[in-house]
A = this chain, B = another copy of it.
Amino acid sequence: MRSSIIALITDFGTEDGYVGAMKGRILTLNPSARIVDISHEIPPFDVRSGAFCLFNSYAYFPEGTIFVVVVDPGVGTRRRGLVLLSDRHVFIGPDNGVFSLILKEERVQAFRIREEQLPGEISPTFHGRDVFAPLAAWKGAGQSIATYLEPVGNPESFWEDPKELDAGKWQLRVLHIDHFGNIILNLRRKDLPASGANIPRKLEGKDFVIQRYLKTFGEAGEGELAMMWDSSGFLQIARNQGHAAETLGARVGDPVILTLGASSK
């Protein structure tokens, strides 16, 4: 039995022991599992934040890593449970959009979890412990879980592509606000044409215009705002040693207009 990595993302916080129950369950069913905490501090019910957290980390994990993502406001309703297989990784969690960015980036085989086939009692309020954790544990132990799966199409996604309004003018949206207040937009560098007028020149939001384009925070003066490519390739607005989102009053979903140019000013 190889020592599989099971990486966890939840919005549970840790203080009630819900995460502990999941870890205990995994270790009971798969004693050699290597549990890795990615985060338990996703804001409660915030599926978009969970999706971002997963996207920002998953690609760096070894082949075979199993991600269990439990941001699950619809637990106990008819929302489906999913297992997604990419060529390198396994993703387990609710079908509520939390895998939106994975679906955009990876080709996956998608399966619905047949909860009714699972042994044991299933709490209607805690599928993290009673559905997702056991499947991850068994899968990690090399056992087949095929009997609990059924191929399925069209997993939920909230992803919205940037919209070209005009030549070189795009409507973006705020995808995420991170711990440091960086405002991350739904455009990745690799989604732009490789050459030509593909340099960000201007970002216009409700109450701001940013025209400074830099490589990193540190090139800005203290407190200065600038746009730059973030470490996952998304366009972001950052403030050197400050909190850009508070400064600009930006919120997830806000529209922002990007103007591209032939070269940086």
Taking Cβ atoms with an 8 Å cutoff, the residues of A that contact B are 5, 7, 9, 12-25, 27-28, 31, 35-45, 49, 52-62, 65, 73-77, 79, 123-126, 129-130, 176, 178-180, 215-219, 228, 230-231, 238, 241
Check if A54 sits within 8 Å of B17, measured CB to CB: yes
A55 to B7, CA, bound (A): 24
Check if B17 sits within 8 Å of A52, measured CB to CB: yes
Q: Smallest Cβ distance from A51 to chain B, in angstroms?
A: 10
Check if B21 sits within 8 Å of A62, measured CB to CB: no
Interface centre among A35, A73, A129, A231 (most CB of B within 10 A): A231
Set of chain B residues within 8 Å of A73, measured between Cβ atoms: 217, 241
Q: Smallest Cβ distance from A129 to chain B, in angstroms?
A: 7
Q: Smallest Cβ distance from A111 to chain B, in angstroms?
A: 22
Check if B231 sits within 8 Å of A125, measured CB to CB: yes
Extra 11 A-B pairs, beta carbons < 8 Å, given A21-B231, A24-B57, A125-B217: A13-B41, A14-B39, A16-B56, A16-B178, A18-B231, A21-B60, A35-B36, A77-B219, A125-B228, A125-B231, A125-B238
Set of chain B residues within 8 Å of A17, measured between Cβ atoms: 9, 38-39, 52-57
Check if A15 sits within 8 Å of B31, measured CB to CB: no
What is the copy number of this chain in the assembly? 3
Check if B56 sits within 8 Å of A25, measured CB to CB: no
Q: Smallest Cβ distance from A65 to chain B, in angstroms?
A: 7
Partner of A216, one of B7, B44, B75, B130: B75
Given known pairs A77-B218, A125-B228, the reply for A57 and B21 (CB within 8 Å) is yes
Question: Can you list 8 residue pairs at the A/B interface with Cβ under 8 Å?
Answer: A9-B20, A13-B41, A15-B41, A15-B49, A16-B176, A17-B54, A24-B60, A124-B215
Check if B38 sits within 8 Å of A14, measured CB to CB: yes
Check if B35 sits within 8 Å of A23, measured CB to CB: no
A199 to B157, CA, bound (A): 40
Closest 5 CB pairs of A and B: A76-B216, A20-B57, A77-B218, A24-B60, A17-B56
